[in-house]
Amino acid sequence: MVDASIIVATFNRIESLQKLLTSLRRQKGVGSCTVELLVVDNSSTDGTWEYLRKEQTYAMDYSFRPLQESQRGKASALNKGVRAAKGRILVIADDDVEVCAEWLSGHLECYRTGFFDAVQGRVLPGVDWEGRPADPRRIREYNIPIVDYGDKIREIRALTGTNMSFKREVVDRVGFFDSQLGDLHNA
């Protein structure tokens, strides 16, 4: 069985997706964990699918599977990834982020105790999808969650939808993402 499945839903963000995939190649501290990466293209029109098919040939330390989902919406794309995932831990990253080298190992470390069913990682502003420094007004305008509880592990009531992970059995208990929420890629 796969230890962890990284799931990314993408729609027309080929440039930021490339940056994310580059940052995923730099992961450290994963050790002997078996990891797979699933990127679900949600009917992009900017060449994302063609890029992902070529990306399969690049060297990664884990298996890479591009998938397609025709039903529009981030939830539908994530659900396709969750259904296809083989990992006992499912890790979600948005297509417009870059992750630090210890990102995946940080998520996995939280599960070693057996105490947690889900983990929310930090979500910090950097630059926006157009390469501009994050503007506090736009962060508020687009309701972008900023999550930084520091290095301390604590209980929280909800996850943001990005930089989060959960055990596969959580899906069995609570179900999939709600695809009735609509086309969240443009939010």
Q: What's the whole-model pTM score? A: 0.82
Please provide the size of the chain in residues: 187
For residues 123 and 146, is the Cβ–Cβ distance under 8 A? yes
| Residues whose CB is less than 8 angstroms from the CB of residue 158 and which lie 6 or more positions away in sequence, other chains included | none
How far apart (Å, rounded) are the C-alpha atoms in residues 32 and 30? Answer: 6
Compute the mean pLDDT over every residue in the chain, rounded to the nearest whole number: 82
Burial letters 38-77, b for 16+ CB under 10 A, else e: bbbbbbbeeebbebbeebeeeeeebebbbbebeebbbbbb
Q: Find the helix packing angle between 48-55 and 14-25, rounded to 10°.
A: 20
Can you list the domains of the chain with their CATH numbers? Answer: 2-122+154-174 (3.90.550.10)
How far apart (Å, rounded) are the C-alpha atoms in residues 20 and 91? Answer: 14
Compute the C-alpha angle 14/122/155, nearest 5°: 135
- What average pLDDT does the segment 33-47 reach? 95
Phi, psi of 164 (to 5 degrees): -135, 160
Torsion-angle region of 131 (φ positive above 0: left; ψ -120 to 50: alpha; else: beta) = left
- What average pLDDT does the segment 68-75 reach? 93
How far apart (Å, rounded) are the C-alpha atoms in residues 81 and 90? Answer: 9
Return the percentage of the chain with pLDDT > 90, whole number: 45
pLDDT at 84 over 80: yes
Q: Are strands 35-41 and 2-10 parallel, antiparallel or unpaired?
A: parallel
pLDDT at 112 over 50: yes
Q: Which pLDDT does position 139 carry in this prediction?
A: 55
- What average pLDDT does the segment 143-149 reach? 54
